[in-house]
Amino acid sequence: MEKINGLIAANFAPYNTDGSVNYALIPAIVEEMLQQGVKGVFICGTNGEGPSLSTEERMQLAEAYVNIVNKRLLVFVHVGHSSITEAKRLAAHAAEIGADYISAVSAFYFKPSSVDNLVSCMAAIASAAPKTPFFYYHIPTVTGISIDLLAFLELAEQAIPSFAGIKYTASTIHEYQACLHYKDGKYDILFGFDELLLPALAVGAKGAIGSTYNYAGRLYNQVIALFEAGKLAEAELLHFEAVKMIRLLVKYGPIPTQRSIMKKIGLDLGIPRLPLRSLSAEVEQALYADLTASGFIALTKDEQ
């Protein structure tokens, strides 16, 4: 299977004013992703509020994306769920509608007790879509599951015939690099910490999945181009512009802040579901002032 080279945007969930999913906004979201120059979309994950959506809503979102994308982008469907039964339903549906990849986090209420236990859970989910490449979604800051991923790889390759790799959302670059080199790069290890993309490129990253690529894909693609051209000082300076923006996500709250940024670029995604909350009008204006002062919004609009 060909490995992924480039950026995958982890899309946000769109809502109507009554809190229902706004499927009608998906064509505009997909067009923006094409304009940003990303290679694909990752839906119903952390930023897509997958755990806050019903199984039926997740299926409808997946079907809408697959139909609207129409092979113009890669489509990753996150199927992780604290119920393995529901995760299998989502996986089977994603395969049926023609998603390119499926991915799943660990169960996060009753948590797997060992690497072997985790692999068994992932194998059960992947078995529902045996012909669709499967990525384990490693995000320990959210799931609380922090394991030896090399041990995971050793067991996963035996237990999951469709295993394609890992969505690696953690800051431990040394382990990420070790996973990249596992069996001479046998698996696709997609990097998921946007603020560390440049260091990840330095240790061999080729593909990455992240939330900020929704509105700053052009900027990050330029970072990649500068890195590949050997212009490391320029790449570092441009990457730092992204890092300064990401510091604002810490200041104001990651998902609400990014939803406000999406509104600023013309895609009003509505109010997220509880327990997430939108920024107040006052805080949102403070965010926009910070972004304007830093010049970040202008940078994201530059044609690269």
Q: Which domains, from first to last, does the chain contain?
A: 6-231 (3.20.20.70)
Would you say how long the chain is, in residues? Answer: 304
Average pLDDT rounded to a whole number, residues 244-258:
91
Percentage of the chain exceeding pLDDT 70: 99
Which is it for strands 101-104 and 163-168: parallel, antiparallel or unpaired?
Answer: unpaired
Question: Across the chain, what does the average pLDDT equal?
Answer: 96
Q: Regarding predicted confidence, which is higher, 1 or 130?
A: 130
Q: Active-site residue numbers?
A: 137, 167
pLDDT over 80 (residue 279): yes
Q: How confident is the model at residue 304 (pLDDT cuts 50, 70, 90)?
A: very low
Average pLDDT rounded to a whole number, residues 37-50:
98
Q: What is the pLDDT of residue 296?
A: 84
Q: Regarding predicted confidence, which is higher, 182 or 294?
A: 182
Q: Give me the half-sphere count of Cα atoms (radius 13 Å) on the Cβ side of residue 80.
A: 31
Angle at 270 between CA 274 and CA 49, to 5 degrees: 45
Average pLDDT rounded to a whole number, residues 90-119:
97
Q: What is the pLDDT of residue 298?
A: 80
pLDDT over 60 (residue 257): yes
pLDDT over 60 (residue 117): yes
Check the annotation: does 209 bind a ligand.
yes
Q: What are the E-state strand segments in the chain?
A: 6-10, 40-43, 74-78, 101-104, 134-138, 163-168, 188-191, 207-210
pLDDT over 70 (residue 184): yes
Q: What is the pLDDT of residues 188-240, one digit of tens each?
A: 999 999 999 999 999 999 999 999 999 999 999 999 999 999 999 999 999 99
Q: What is the pLDDT of residues 83-97, one digit of tens each?
A: 999 999 999 999 999
Runs of H (alpha helix) within 75-195: 84-97, 115-126, 140-143, 149-159, 173-180
Q: What is the pLDDT of residue 302?
A: 59
Q: How far apart are CA 105 and CA 286, in angstroms?
A: 34
| Burial class of residue 243, CB neighbours in 10 A (0-12, 13-18, 19+) | middle
Q: What tokens were used for 230?
A: 């050997």
Nearest alpha-carbon partner for 166 in 94, 123, 103:
103
pLDDT over 60 (residue 303): no
Note whether 93 and 125 are within 8 A (CB): no
Nearest alpha-carbon partner for 175 in 193, 157, 160:
193
